Amino acid sequence: MRVANDYYGILGVRRDAGPDEIKKAYRRLARELHPDVNPDPETQERFKEITQAYEVLSDPGKRQMYDLGADPFAQAGAGPGSGFGAGFPFSDIMDAFFGAGTAARGPRSRARRGRNATIRVELDLAECAFGTTRDLVVDTAVVCPSCSGEGTAPGTHPETCDVCRGRGEVSQVTRSFLGQVMTSRPCPGCGGFGTVIRRPCQECDGEGRVRTRRTIKVRIPAGVEDGTHIQLAGEGETGPGGGPAGDLFLEIVQRPHAIFERQGDDLHCTATIPMAAAALGATLKVQTLDGPADVDIRPGTQSGQAIPLYGQGTAHLNSSGRGDLVIHVTVETPTKLDSEQEALLRELAKLRGEESPPGKFAPGQQGFFSRLRDAFNGR
């Protein structure tokens, strides 16, 4: 059974509960017992109890006095049963009830972080493979050189607000069925900043930043590909009030290559060779990213065969080594022969017994007549 003024028992928390646990317990009970939800008198008294318990346990000084057995309301000039005393931090309860968080009160800073920016950078395949350095022109916001981000005219500075006296908020005491409560809201005179700018800077109009075009040198690492994003910290827009700059993101766009197709870090290309070269073997000169290279075509090479050149692809991003270059061979059959060439081929066919080739068919390949027969049979 809960004893009178057992604040831990009223909120249903342990005596060693932390501030977050206490706030969570109060928020749960406040939603159930708030007078707007349960207007009966007994519920109103219960709501006053949990509010008084939260007032004590959420204040380190009052909680220490309560744990030592002293009256936590002695310094406030109110007894334990007086409910809300003058100057009661009602905004703390509103924060807990509505989930406003634990943001510190006081004047807001005019300086805020700037936005991030993204620009597209087009690169050739070789630049993506080996990396490069680019001078990029960026149109962005920078700190105003006239006021150095302060937003005021030269020789002037922000002045303390006459309405809130620099606190950034104003308070109002009202009376309700709960007693005397104090509410706070951002100061209408300064917008919550605590200071006002009487004479704004003419160059930035009080914002503390101006737009300009600047050039930055960027190193593109080896191994990037189409769609890669590179983050440059602090190279984005300067924030309002001269706040810290956001980040700049580079989106890599790889231009198509006339010969190579990229798949990951491997490169693929097609080489067409004559029928005789495929049968007898030959040395083929091919183009790679590193320059010309000789490739041995073995006798009997078939159309569709792949020849790998290890380590001739693009560099691995953020690691050592490179991918491969894969050459796909296509054997070209001659379409026009003169009489001498035709005679030689016929002699070769005769020697190889290929005047009437038997042909080879792969299983599972349905011919035209089979498909026609199935169509008539309704299959």
Q: Is the pLDDT of residue 80 over 70?
A: no
Query: Do 117-158+197-254 and 261-352 share a fold?
Result: yes
Question: Would you state the structure tokens that stand for residue 285, as one six-digit string?
Answer: 């000169």
Q: Are the C-beta atoms of 62 and 72 separated by less than 8 Å?
A: yes
Q: Which two tokens stand for residue 350?
A: 């005769």
Asked whether 194 and 107 are in contact (CB, 8 A), the reply is yes
Backbone angles phi, psi at 270, to 5 degrees: -115, 135
Q: Is residue 184 predicted with pLDDT exceeding 70?
A: yes
pLDDT of amino acid 99: 42
Residue 20 has pLDDT above 70, yes or no: yes
CATH of domain 261-352: 2.60.260.20
Find the mean pLDDT for residues 107-128: 92
One-letter amino acid of 335: T
| Structure confidence by residue, pLDDT tens digits, 136-167 | 999 989 999 999 899 999 999 999 999 888 88
Classify domain 7-98 at the CATH topology level.
Answer: Helix Hairpins (1.10.287)
State yes or no: pLDDT of 191 exceeds 70: yes
Q: Which is higher by pLDDT, 277 or 20?
A: 277
* Residue 12, both tokens: 């249903």
CA distance 163 to 192: 11
* Element of type H or E holding 342: helix 339-352
Q: What is the pLDDT of residue 293?
A: 93
Instruction: Tell me the mean pLDDT in the region 181-199.
Output: 87
Q: Answer yes or no: is pLDDT of 40 > 80.
A: no
pLDDT greater than 60 at residue 190: yes
Which pLDDT score, from 0 to 100, does residue 83 have?
Answer: 42
pLDDT band at 370 (very low <50, low <70, confident <90, very high): low
Q: Which residues pair with 250 in a beta bridge?
A: 119, 230
What's the rounded mean pLDDT across residues 341-369?
Answer: 72
Domain ranges of the chain: 7-98, 117-158+197-254, 261-352
CATH homologous superfamily of 117-158+197-254? Urease metallochaperone UreE, N-terminal domain (2.60.260.20)
pLDDT of 88 reads 43
Q: Which residues contact 264 (CB under 8 A, 6 or more apart)?
A: 225, 323
Pick the range with the lowest mean pLDDT from 36-50, 193-207, 226-240, 271-285. Answer: 36-50
Give the model's pLDDT for residue 273.
Answer: 92
Q: How far is residue 50's CA from residue 69's CA, in Å, rounded to a whole number?
A: 19
Give 268-283 pLDDT, tens digit per residue: 999 999 998 999 999 9
pLDDT band at 195 (very low <50, low <70, confident <90, very high): very high
**Residue 239 in 3-state DSSP?**
strand
DSSP state, residue 255: P
CA angle 102, 106, 111 (to 5 degrees): 95
Greater model confidence, 33 or 194: 194
* Higher-pLDDT residue of 38, 298: 298
Distance CA 53, CA 61 (A): 14
CB-CB contact of 48 with 91 (8 Å): no
> Quick one: pLDDT at residue 124?
96
- The answer to whether the CB of 241 falls within 8 A of the CB of 193 is no
- Which SS3 state, helix, strand or coil, does residue 161 take? coil
pTM of the model: 0.59
